[in-house]
Structure 1
Amino acid sequence: MPRLARGRVSALAGGPEGGKQPAGAEAGPPPVLLPSAQPMPAAESILQRGIFEIDGRSCDVVLSDSALRWRPIQPERPAAPAAGNSKCGFLSKEEFIELKDLFSVKLKWRRSAKQQKGGTLLGITLFVCMKKEQNKLKDYTLTLNNLSEDHCFLWVRDLKKILTKFSNRPKSLKVLINPQSHKKEATHIYHEHVEPLLKLAEIKTDVTITEYEGHALSLLKECELQEFDGVICVGGDGSASEVAHGLLLRAQMDAGIDTNYILTPVRTPLPLGIIPAGSTNVLAHSLYGIVHIVTATLHIIMGHMKPVDVCTFSSTGKFLRFGFSAMFGFGGRMLASAEKHRWIPPNQRKDFAMIKTLASLRPEDCEISFLPAKSSQDFQEASRNEHRTTESDYNNQWEKIQGHFLNISIMAIPCCCSMAPGGLTPNIRLNNGSMALIIVRNTSRPEFVKHLKRYASLKNQFNFPFVETYTVEEVKLQPRNNCGYDTGDAEFHGTPSENNYPWNVDGDLMKVPSEVHIKVHPQLIRLYGGHLQEMNDYK
């Protein structure tokens, strides 16, 4: 037989164990404990059973190893059934929460303003992660009022034992904050919205506020990471990409791989959590389905993890960096212009850079080679023309395209954002082992603007004769210009023998003088989060 706690009965009746009645409690005989109308699932093992006050009502509460169930006992003095009604009618519907959605449990005390410890015990407070619409998560509290200390201590003990069994949940995190992200709000966002939830979940943190570009990378290459269960980045896409690159680079170093020539990278053992604090937040939006700080934080606390594909970027056989997406041509020039005018506020800088780059719109003469994905079909059939040749044999089926292109995008993630809610590459998933190659051939400025505006739509984004899309595993892009590269008022010069071309890699400016080789590596890193509709199990 399950144990039945009677401490709350005395409390509600004003007996000696309860002392004063809690506000809103009505005097009267003890509540009647009623059997549950629905039997407990056979697989559940009952740990505790007792009477608590929830939302001002006496409830029969049952704690099993997987759920907390309660049924109000109403009324405390059952009234006679109405004429012609054979049912008593005072059983209310059972409610429950799954313990996998619980992330913290605390004793509830009444204390004076100056009192730090002790006070009058009022009951137990449960902190629960609640799933909302549109991929949003929200934290809410459930209070179980009971004035019996022994009774509450036993329940808290069992609840905390259950919480320790969720092994994916982090207990210690390394937190990296970029104070310069977007409107320089990252530090405020962390301390006001993220840190209180992490403390509530009793997660230890070690916080570093980065001081310069590349600081996070240097720190991750040198610090002791074995004491942490994960790394958290508070910043924009550039910050998140730098931290992901640092974690993966550290994994190669620990595995004894020469980081100048990474052919087959190893996975990083530490997951990465991203708190969106940038202007675009493409990576966070693609991961969570929404840009919402509490949602991102709760994914981390609950240990929701998703493996994600990562690309390697190399040139002339030498490794350059890890990344999730890249743009060459218009996307690279626009970022180069924005970096040149960092004194302009972020939102205005983005608009200024786009207008300036459109005003000087011109194509790039390139040769593009790509290896089609083995198990996927192109998500839009590209038209063949005289500029396209195919080189294939039994082991190597590379295809080649030559011509003049306004923009070239290579993306291993959907790249969702406020301007493109369906993603820049809507048919690419976070971990399907392929990349989207989107080629925009030379066309008029008005037609190119129509193409950019179409990203705000959820369909027919690539329904233009000058846009070609492919699903690929590898891409090689070789600019064929021999002259210096100019973006209007921003020139890129390397050594006297080099001409550097700007790339936009995850919001970071990368300058490369020659061919760039991009290859996708399936599920190379785990990120905290994931679209709720894609997550069948939160454990």
Structure 2
Amino acid sequence: MENHHTKDPIYTFDASVDDDDDGIPTLNDDSLNPSPVIEKATIFEEKTRTRIATDFSKEDAKAVFTIDGEGFDVILSENKGKIYFSPMSVSGRRKSARKLSGLLRSRRPSMTESSSDDGIALSSLFGVHVKRRPTTSTSRSDTGLCQGLVLSMLERKNENVLREKTLFMEHPSTFKRPRAVKLFLQPYAGAKNGRSLYQKNVLPLFQHAGITVDMSEIVHNEYVKQAMTHLDFEEYDCIACMGGDGTVNQVLDALMSRSQKEKGVDLKVGNSAAASPVPLGIIPIGRTNHVAFSLMGANDIMTGVLHIMYGHFQPVDVCSIITPEKICRWGFNSQYGFAGQVLTYLHRYKALGSKRVDAATIKALTKAKLRSYECEIEYIPADNQRKGDQTPCTTGCGICMGASKNDNITDCITDMVQELDPLNQSFTSNTSSVIDLPQDTPWRTVKGKYMNVGLFTIPGRSEMSPQGLCKYTHLSDGTLDLVLVKETEKKEFVRHLKRHGNSKNQNDFPFIEVIKVKEVRFRPRYPTGWNYNDHDFSEIKYQMEREGSKAQNQESMEVINDLDRANSISTLDISDDDDENSDDEQKEPKPQMLGPQYRKTFTEIEVERRRKIARKKEEKMKAREESKMLSVWNIDNQQVKSLELDFKVHHGVLAICACGVSPLSEYEDVRTSWLS
């Protein structure tokens, strides 16, 4: 907003009387002037009303500000002596009366403001303060990046009590834009041209916008986590990554883990996650880029850079994943079964380049590889199941915006109830009191054979699946979409895969079940009953041990059944003497007798060698059969071999530089010839 006072950050409005061209006084505060002057001001206002309407745009100052998360056109009218607020969005206009009554206008009229008029009278203001963010702890309050204006005004609390009221107006296009960005670059992602893309396309845009970029290349898998440990979040406005889905997962894991450490949150005991203090920016240069595609509607490099430059933020749900070793990691989408097998073969076919995705999928669909997996899944169903709701998540999604902000508190209460559940306590059998305890538990259990198990917090869009792996998953509704693909025929499963490329619902099959959940415990059912030869078994040794155990049992029974005390004592004395003699014999080494040793024949050596070879073959066959019965986890296109995992969704704990997918997006069917 333009203002003639630019030197001092504190401004005051003059309430004195000014003369216009006709010599008639104009008043800013009616309560401080006598009644004749008020009458003259009223006459002047009636005469000049037409002139004010015609010269409205020339004499008034206009600007766009954000107030309590809503955008407003703010107009300063010096002629009318008021500040007017007009909501920019359609939803904001619908709520303007309610919002302005509670935010911009007091419940009681101020000393100089009429309750029937909108806006704030300048006479009710006693100061305007420019709020700045200090660059360092020792910097002055009048230096640093300007964040907005703070209006200080006067209001009545009741008939006799006055109070101060402040209104913070934040400029959305200036004060939310980042000025310093930490960028992690994976130069070998996608076509392995990350360095040239950064130097030619990305860095010049940031320099033109006046944004400082601190770029670091990822040299190994643990580099991002190590660098994030020593990173100062106060120096950066955004943490960005330039790479594929694997790079996004590494930066997400390091950022959220560091955020929990800063807040002292331990998720291993069931606590709710702490939000990230800085947003995450994504510049996609990988092959699939399903995270960037789901949040931006495209995998374009310039789109990701511009979202970071303009400070567009989209809250997103994140899933915490805890292993049996109590190691916590983070991710968006996780799949077990067919998707895990595809990822396994994808790593084997790296030499094929862009064709490796087709080759890995064909390999996983062969008769020898395509199978179902026995699983045991426990989950807590979400309160808002929304069965039959086929509404995709787009920009300004009403479901995501209307999600409850108290989901984390509800999760904490649920965890406390589970920890103090009296049903888990052990009771003795001689208890005489009967306690009527509730038998209901929030956990549900399903067991069976599934060809694929998916957990989605984002739709998972990509070029092969333009509308997503789970089309109706929302970005910030506080739930996980659990998709269970039960055992079925191969042709039906291929039909399910083909629908990922068209506008049909890929989960609209009788063998697929979709459940909205908050927590999931996954346990694979390990294979049993494998029959193989035990080469360590010896029939002679087994019979000798069996006869020895029989003789030992007979001797013990004779000692117990002997009623003669003298005989039992003598038997004990004899045993003691034998023990003493045995100890003396152990102390004195016996001379060893040397004689001819037995040497194996060539036939026996050959037979033993062949047995070892057969044993190795059987062990390999056993490992191969067990590997067929188990799969690996595909977490954001990252392979995780730990199978027993616990998942929990955390609502809106991360802001990503994106605006969501436009509701006007048009999709074309993708035909995959390798699925024919």
2:379 — aligned with what? 370
Matched residue type, 2:655: R
Alignment of 1:95-114 (within 5 A): none
Alignment of 1:309-388 (within 5 A): 309-316=317-324, 318-345=326-353, 347-359=354-366, 360-379=369-388
C-alpha distance 209-459 of structure 1, shift in aligned 2 (>3 A): same
Alignment of 1:369-448 (within 5 A): 369-379=378-388, 396-448=441-493
1:141 — aligned with what? none
Q: Does 1:45 align with 2:61?
A: yes
1:475 — aligned with what? 520
Matched residue type, 2:202: V
C-alpha distance 260-179 of structure 1, shift in aligned 2 (>3 A): farther
Deviations along 1:312-349, whole A, 9 cap, x unmatched? 1113372331111100000111112212333331x212
Partner of 1:226, secondary structure, is: helix
Task: Using the TM superposition, give the Cα deviation of residue 260 of structure 1 relative to its aligned residue in structure 2, in angstroms.
Answer: 6.0
C-alpha distance 260-470 of structure 1, shift in aligned 2 (>3 A): closer
**C-alpha distance in 2 between matches for 1:297 and 1:257:** 32
Task: Using the TM superposition, give the Cα deviation of residue 38 of structure 1 relative to its aligned residue in structure 2, in angstroms.
Answer: 8.4
Partner of 1:512, secondary structure, is: coil
Higher helix share: 2
Aligned pair partner of 1:179 in 164, 184, 187: 187
1:521 — aligned with what? 650
**C-alpha distance in 1 between matches for 2:194 and 2:281:** 14
Alignment of 1:493-504 (within 5 A): 501-504=631-634
1:288–1:530: 8 Å Cα contact kept in structure 2? Answer: yes
Task: Using the TM superposition, give the Cα deviation of residue 225 of structure 1 relative to its aligned residue in structure 2, in angstroms.
Answer: 3.1
Task: Using the TM superposition, give the Cα deviation of residue 224 of structure 1 relative to its aligned residue in structure 2, in angstroms.
Answer: 2.9
Task: Using the TM superposition, give the Cα deviation of residue 426 of structure 1 relative to its aligned residue in structure 2, in angstroms.
Answer: 1.7
2:230 — aligned with what? 222
Using the aligned pairs only, state the percent identity: 31
2:307–2:657: 8 Å Cα contact kept in structure 1? Answer: yes
1:249–1:259: 8 Å Cα contact kept in structure 2? Answer: no
1:232 — aligned with what? 240
Alignment of 1:484-499 (within 5 A): none
1:94 — aligned with what? none
1:271–1:526: 8 Å Cα contact kept in structure 2? Answer: yes
2:275–2:654: 8 Å Cα contact kept in structure 1? Answer: yes
1:136 — aligned with what? none
2:313 — aligned with what? 305
**C-alpha distance in 2 between matches for 1:190 and 1:484:** 56
Higher strand share: 1
C-alpha distance 334-260 of structure 1, shift in aligned 2 (>3 A): same
Q: Does 1:507 align with 2:624?
A: no
Deviations along 1:293-323, whole A, 9 cap, x unmatched? 1111111111110111000111337233111
Alignment of 1:109-124 (within 5 A): none
**C-alpha distance in 2 between matches for 1:248 and 1:176:** 15
**C-alpha distance in 2 between matches for 1:467 and 1:529:** 31
Partner of 1:199, secondary structure, is: helix
Matched residue type, 2:283: I
Q: Does 1:453 align with 2:498?
A: yes
Task: Using the TM superposition, give the Cα deviation of residue 463 of structure 1 relative to its aligned residue in structure 2, in angstroms.
Answer: 1.9
**C-alpha distance in 1 between matches for 2:622 and 2:329:** 20
Partner of 1:264, secondary structure, is: coil
Task: Using the TM superposition, give the Cα deviation of residue 435 of structure 1 relative to its aligned residue in structure 2, in angstroms.
Answer: 1.1
Matched residue type, 1:190: Y
- Which protein, 1 or 2, shows the higher relative CO under an 8 Å CA cutoff with sep ≥ 6? 2
1:379–1:427: 8 Å Cα contact kept in structure 2? Answer: no
1:326–1:409: 8 Å Cα contact kept in structure 2? Answer: yes
Alignment of 1:28-43 (within 5 A): none
Matched residue type, 2:305: T
Matched residue type, 1:255: K
C-alpha distance 283-240 of structure 1, shift in aligned 2 (>3 A): same
Matched residue type, 2:635: V
Deviations along 1:482-503, whole A, 9 cap, x unmatched? 3699xxxx9999xxxxx98510
1:108 — aligned with what? none
Partner of 1:196, secondary structure, is: helix
Matched residue type, 1:354: T
Alignment of 1:190-205 (within 5 A): 190-205=198-213
Partner of 2:248, secondary structure, is: helix
Matched residue type, 2:210: E
Task: Using the TM superposition, give the Cα deviation of residue 193 of structure 1 relative to its aligned residue in structure 2, in angstroms.
Answer: 1.7
1:412–1:428: 8 Å Cα contact kept in structure 2? Answer: yes
Partner of 1:188, secondary structure, is: helix
C-alpha distance 352-246 of structure 1, shift in aligned 2 (>3 A): same
**C-alpha distance in 1 between matches for 2:470 and 2:662:** 19
Structure 1 stretches lacking a partner, 5+ long: 4-34, 48-64, 68-97, 99-157, 382-391, 494-498
**C-alpha distance in 2 between matches for 1:230 and 1:480:** 43
Q: Does 1:531 align with 2:539?
A: no
1:259–1:319: 8 Å Cα contact kept in structure 2? Answer: no
Matched residue type, 1:206: D
Task: Using the TM superposition, give the Cα deviation of residue 180 of structure 1 relative to its aligned residue in structure 2, in angstroms.
Answer: 1.3
Task: Using the TM superposition, give the Cα deviation of residue 376 of structure 1 relative to its aligned residue in structure 2, in angstroms.
Answer: 2.9
**C-alpha distance in 1 between matches for 2:312 and 2:255:** 19
**C-alpha distance in 2 between matches for 1:506 and 1:524:** 18
C-alpha distance 210-317 of structure 1, shift in aligned 2 (>3 A): closer
2:253–2:331: 8 Å Cα contact kept in structure 1? Answer: yes
1:473–1:519: 8 Å Cα contact kept in structure 2? Answer: yes
Matched residue type, 2:199: H
**C-alpha distance in 1 between matches for 2:655 and 2:486:** 35
C-alpha distance 518-42 of structure 1, shift in aligned 2 (>3 A): farther
1:365–1:479: 8 Å Cα contact kept in structure 2? Answer: yes
C-alpha distance 501-261 of structure 1, shift in aligned 2 (>3 A): farther
Query: Which one has the largest radius of gyration?
Result: 2
Matched residue type, 1:332: G
Task: Using the TM superposition, give the Cα deviation of residue 437 of structure 1 relative to its aligned residue in structure 2, in angstroms.
Answer: 0.9
Alignment of 1:1-16 (within 5 A): none
Deviations along 1:123-159, whole A, 9 cap, x unmatched? xxxxxxxxxxxxxxxxxxxxxxxxxxxxxxxxxxx9x
Partner of 2:216, secondary structure, is: strand
Matched residue type, 1:348: K
**C-alpha distance in 2 between matches for 1:39 and 1:292:** 45
Task: Using the TM superposition, give the Cα deviation of residue 531 of structure 1 relative to its aligned residue in structure 2, in angstroms.
Answer: 2.2
Aligned pair partner of 2:261 in 232, 240, 253: 253
Matched residue type, 2:517: V
Normalization by structure 1: what TM-score? 0.63
**C-alpha distance in 2 between matches for 1:323 and 1:442:** 27
1:71 — aligned with what? none
**C-alpha distance in 2 between matches for 1:306 and 1:475:** 25
Q: Does 1:284 align with 2:414?
A: no
Partner of 1:238, secondary structure, is: helix
**C-alpha distance in 1 between matches for 2:364 and 2:295:** 29
Partner of 1:465, secondary structure, is: coil
Matched residue type, 2:203: E
Normalization by structure 2: what TM-score? 0.51
1:244 — aligned with what? 252
C-alpha distance 44-476 of structure 1, shift in aligned 2 (>3 A): farther
